[in-house]
Amino acid sequence: MKKLKKLLVLGVGNTLMMDEGFGVHAIYEFWKEKEDWDENLVDFIDGGTFTQDIFFLFEKYEILLVLDIVRAGKKPGTIYRLLENELRRDKKQPLSLHDIDLLDSLDMAAMVGHKPELIVLGIEPKKLIGVLSLHQH
């Protein structure tokens, strides 16, 4: 069995769409402190607008930590911690298009051999422009 890195931190979002670039901007901040992180244990990747074609990266890690926005109607700045089973179980959870791709990518990673544990850390944005919502208010 091959040795897995402990953690992949994947920041997702579109930096051109106001608050939605949160995950990517967070990765940029981690990169500034790269010398403080053990590269044998953790990688920080700018996932941009995240597409399913990066699922092959997941098989190298035990844990996938995704940084993104979460629209749940609470006060801007509210921080959420969601696990895969919560994302799949709660049909009312307002998933972004990134989350749907993410769940599909995890399924693909499982089919090719290894699926990491998923943790999503999200923040409620103040304002979004140009983002599709999967539910109507």
Q: How many domains does the chain have?
A: 1
Would you state the pLDDT for residue 137? 35
**Main-chain phi, psi angles of 12, to 5 degrees:** -120, 155
Strand partners, 119: 65, 83
Could you give the CA distance from residue 48 to residue 116 in angstroms, rounded to a whole number?
20
Does residue 19 fall inside a structural domain?
yes
Domain membership of residue 101 (yes or no) is yes
- pLDDT for the residue numbered 124: 85
Find the CATH number of the domain harbouring 114.
Answer: 3.40.50.1450
Comparing CA positions, the residue from 123, 124, 109, 111 lying closest to residue 63 is: 109
Residue 133 counted as domain residue: no
In a domain, 134, yes or no: no
Decide: helix, strand or coil at residue 7.
Answer: strand
Write out residues in the chain with pLDDT < 50, as ranges.
97, 130-137
Q: Which two tokens stand for residue 86?
A: 């919560």
pTM: 0.79
Instruction: Flag whether 91 is in a domain.
Output: yes
- Has residue 115 been placed in a domain? yes
Residue-range definition of the domain harbouring residue 51: 5-123
